[in-house]
């Protein structure tokens, strides 16, 4: 096979991105590449626009300037069926889960399957039950409504919905925020095993240092309206910037590093 696909190892490419809300400039001339098959952790202080970047990449906000290429295609320029087709190749886990509150968990997961793959309700719900089990939720959770779930279960159910169409790109917005340490560690392991099995490319916005150490191949640091540095965790934490130093070498950073080294 000779694949003529020169930049196929870049799954997401962001070039010259400007985001602003009124006079508030969030990003200016931001560049970022995410390689196929890697887990990229995105960190930054509060208000540095991590979630805004995620929303701009998946096309929920239209950037002021700049281009975002997903798998070589510019989502903002596509329309109708083409846009929908590209959107089916990405899965997003929102910070609070964003499960549809009027549907049960299984119906939430089956929704994209019924909408886009024309599966019958029975087939879709059977598949949804498998996805549910993949994310480690018991089958009886499937018949519950989102308001009846605990925080950790909501995250898992939302992950199952994000994975419903077997996406290539997975976007996670603070997946372990609000989880207890045991659930958070289980979520990290789950993410890694799913990534291995599906060959997922993961864009992970997080504050959780343990998640960074266990899951991420590379880390991007957002500061001053752009990406300060993107590299492996060792190299990023060795960067001389003040914020990075206090982030990775503060008490919590050292503890997470020690925990990672013990593993």
Binding site for another protein (CB under 8 A): 1-5, 8, 11, 36, 71-73, 81, 85, 88-89, 101-102, 113, 117-119, 122-123, 125-127, 129-131, 133-134, 138-140, 142-143, 145-148, 163, 165-166, 168, 193-194, 196-199
Which of 120, 232 has the CB closer to another protein? Answer: 120
Question: Distance between CA 226 and CA 17 in Å, rounded?
Answer: 9
Contacts of 19 (CB under 8 A, 6+ apart): 25, 26, 27, 30, 49, 52, 53, 56, 61, 63, 64
Q: How far is the CB of 255 from another protein (least distance, A)?
A: 31
Smaller CB separation from another protein, 101 or 246: 101
Categorise residue 101: left if φ over 0, alpha if ψ from -120 to 50, beta otherwise: alpha
Q: Token pair of 29, please?
A: 């001339």
Nearer to another protein, 166 or 224 (CB): 166
Nearer to another protein, 2 or 24 (CB): 2
Tell the smallest beta-carbon distance from residue 223 to another protein (Å).
31
Q: Pairing relation of β-strands 226-231 and 218-223? A: antiparallel
Nearer to another protein, 187 or 248 (CB): 187
Spell out where 22-164 has E strands.
Answer: 24-35, 39-44, 65-70, 73-74, 90-93
Q: How far is the CB of 133 from another protein (least distance, A)?
A: 4
Is the Cβ of residue 170 or residue 257 nearer to another protein in the bound state? 170
Q: Tokens representing 191? A: 């993410």
CB of 209 to another protein, least distance (A): 27
Q: How far is the CB of 198 from another protein (least distance, A)?
A: 7
Segment holding 13, helix H or strand E: strand 10-21
For 167, the token pair is 């996406």
User: What three-state secondary structure class fits 250?
Assistant: coil
Residue closer to another protein by CB (options 99, 230) is 99
Min separation Cβ 185 and another protein, Å? 18
CB 170, min distance to another protein, A:
13
Between the alpha carbon of residue 202 and those of residues 125, 188, 191, 194, the distances in Å are 26, 12, 9, 10
Q: Which of 209, 203, 206, 205 is nearest to 246 (CA)?
A: 209
């Amino acid at each position: 096979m000779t694949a003529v696909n020169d930049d196929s190892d870049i799954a997401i490419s962001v070039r010259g991105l400007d985001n602003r809300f009124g006079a508030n400039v969030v990003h200016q001339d931001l560049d970022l590449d995410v390689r196929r098959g890697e887990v990229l952790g995105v960190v930054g202080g509060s208000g540095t626009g991590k979630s805004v970047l995620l929303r701009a990449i998946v096309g929920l906000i239209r950037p002021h300037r700049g281009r975002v290429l997903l798998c070589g295609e510019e989502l903002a320029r596509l329309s109708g069926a083409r846009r929908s087709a590209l959107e089916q190749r990405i899965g997003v886990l929102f910070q609070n889960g964003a499960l549809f509150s009027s549907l049960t968990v299984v119906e939430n997961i089956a929704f994209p399957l019924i909408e886009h793959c024309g599966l019958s309700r029975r087939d879709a719900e059977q598949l949804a039950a498998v996805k549910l089990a993949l994310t480690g939720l018991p089958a009886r959770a499937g018949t519950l409504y989102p308001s009846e779930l605990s925080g950790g279960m909501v995250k898992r159910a939302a992950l199952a919905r994000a994975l419903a169409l077997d996406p290539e790109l997975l976007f996670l917005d603070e997946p372990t925020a609000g989880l207890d340490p045991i659930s958070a560690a289980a979520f990290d392991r789950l993410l890694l095993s799913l990534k291995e099995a599906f060959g997922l490319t993961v864009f992970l916005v997080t504050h959780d240092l343990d998640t960074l150490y266990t899951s991420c191949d590379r880390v991007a640091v957002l500061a001053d309206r752009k990406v300060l540095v993107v590299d492996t965790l060792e190299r990023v934490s060795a960067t001389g910037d003040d914020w990075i130093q206090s982030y990775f070498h503060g008490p919590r950073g050292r503890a997470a590093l020690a925990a990672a080294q013990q593993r």
